[in-house]
Every structure is written in C-alpha cells, then in structure tokens.
Structure 1
Amino acid sequence: MATFSRTRKIRFAHTDAAGIAFYPRYFGMMNDFIEDWFGDGLGFDFKHLHIDEKRAVPTVHIEADFIGAGRMHDELTFALTVTKIGRSSVHLRIRATSGGEDRFRMTFVIAHMAMETGKSLPWPDDMRAAMEKWLAPEGENS
C-alpha cells in the first residue's frame, strides 16, 4: 500500500505557552498536508483546481484522536492513506508520529464540488485514478 508522507516541525506558532502543540493548530497542519497530497501526490494543484477550474474540495467530516503531546521543534511525520473513494467524496486516514511514537490520528471526508453552484461533482476519471494509488487494501480501511 502506498502512503503519502511529509515531515514537518512543530513551530512556535503551533504551540501554547507551555510549548505544547495547541490542538486546533493540527487542523491547519492537516489542511496544508492535504493540499500537498493533492498537488504532489495526485498532481492536481489547488490553485489550478480552485482558481482556474472553479472546483473545491471542502472537508465535510473530521474525527481526531490526540494520543501524545507534540512539543515545539518536534519533527512530525504525517502519513496519509485513502480508505474509500465515493462518487464525489474521498475518505482519508492520517497518522502523525514523532520519534516513532503516535501523536494523533485523524480521519477526513472530503467532497468534490463546483464552486459556482455549491453542488457536488463526481471525481474526474484522472483524479479518481490518481487517488486509487493511495487506496488502502480491503480490510485495512479503519
């Protein structure tokens, strides 16, 4: 199974006064990471998708489990797999680790829509095929 991954440092701006990652900042990090997956993993840059083609990929559902504290300057490794591809949605599983220890796990459901109408759009065949590269094998979808 292919896993899309990136490593990022927890910065001062991500932390509270104790130097521990403030959980809402993780959601911003995940948004950046998913944008990287679309651009680098799928080949569909957000600028082209959103600005040029007037399509959007809003998050419609998130679940998060925070397992261990992340601290300023920890290196987090994010790993993404696709667990399901629907007609106009994709389910993602993201895990973040530091030093081999879990920090958090999140699941996301992202939709594909036309910005002008706000209506869902089916994934184009080329985008669906690119997503399938990251699809977890049957039985590993949770």
Structure 2
Amino acid sequence: MGDGIDGIDASQAAGKQAFATDVTVRFGDCDPAGIVFYPRYFEMFNNLVEDWCAQGLGASFRELHLERGLGLPTVHVETSFIAPSELGEVLRAELRVQKLGGASVTVSIRLAGLAGEDRVRASLALVMMDLKERRAVRIPEPLRSRIAAFA
C-alpha cells in the first residue's frame, strides 16, 4: 500500500476479512447537482466505523462511550474521491484493518457502486481514548482480538 491511500491492491485486500454494509445516498447527502457533497462521505465513514464496532466487534458506541468511558476518534484521514455518487444510489461500504497498534488502529475504507466501481477510498487512523482523562489508552482485550480478525 505504501504511504498513500490510493490503494490497497486486490492481492493485499484478498486475504483480509472486511466488514461491509450498504449505504443509501440520501437527499441530505447531496448538493444541488444531485451528487454527494464531499463532507458527507466523512459522515458515512464514521457511520461505517460505528456499525463495525457494534456489529463486527460486538461493542457499540453506546457501550464504549457511556458504559466504558472509551472513545475511538479519527485522528488522521486521507481520502481519494474517484467518481461521483448520485441521489438514490446504494453504495457498498467496506472496512478493513490495515494496522493494529497498542492504542491505535488504521483502517481502509472503500465505497463502491453496486457494480463494484470505486467511488471513494480512504485511510483512517483511529485511537482508543479514555474520555475522562482525554488521553490515548491501550485497546482492551477482548476488543483487540476482535479487531485483529479484520486484519
């Protein structure tokens, strides 16, 4: 992959388990031309991370934030906007773990049309943080082993 986000090639991605879900492009996601206004993709990325935590890792944001006092904010993002997406389309959103550190996890995100054509690719660095102390903390077990299943 190198240092950029332009991509995970198929050989790198093939061996990794992806978390995937469908995303409908809604009216509120679009500009007057009927295509996704680029900041809305960042909301889609966050929604995908939230769904991955709840469905893929078994730890909802509610549990993490309100019960455990932990957050998983994005601290770095790189994005390539490849092709526009239009109102009413359904996109396939995929998340794969690229790197798992002590307190951080780097994920790649791909949004594609249903025919498989890339629309957006991104790399996000997420850091586990203690919300009260406002500092990074080690990703706790068994969450760490669940994350590793996507790497």
Please classify the TM superposition score into its range, dividing by the shorter chain length: over 0.9
Of 60, 64, 67, the match for 2:75: 60
**Structure 1: gaps (5+ residues):** 136-142
**Residue 28 of structure 1 corresponds to which residue in structure 2?**
43
SS of 1:125's equivalent in the other structure is coil
Q: 2:28 aligns with which of 4, 8, 13?
A: 13
Amino acid of the residue matched to residue 40 of structure 1? Q
Equivalent pairs counted in the alignment come to 135
**Identity of paired residues, percent?**
36
Q: CA deviation at 1:73?
A: 0.8
Deviation at residue 30 of structure 1 after TM alignment = 0.9
How far does the alpha carbon of each residue in 1:98-119 deviate from its partner, in whole angstroms, 9 at most, with x for none?
0211000000000001111111
Q: Which amino acid aligns with 1:44?
A: A
Cα distance in 2 for partners of 1:26, 1:134 equals 22
- Mapped partners of 1:58, 1:79: distance in 2: 19
> Residue 111 of structure 1 is aligned with which of 116, 127, 143?
127
Q: How does 1:1-142 map to 2 (within 5 A)?
A: 1-98=16-113, 99-135=115-151
What TM-score, normalized to structure 1? Answer: 0.93
Normalising by structure 2, what TM-score? 0.88
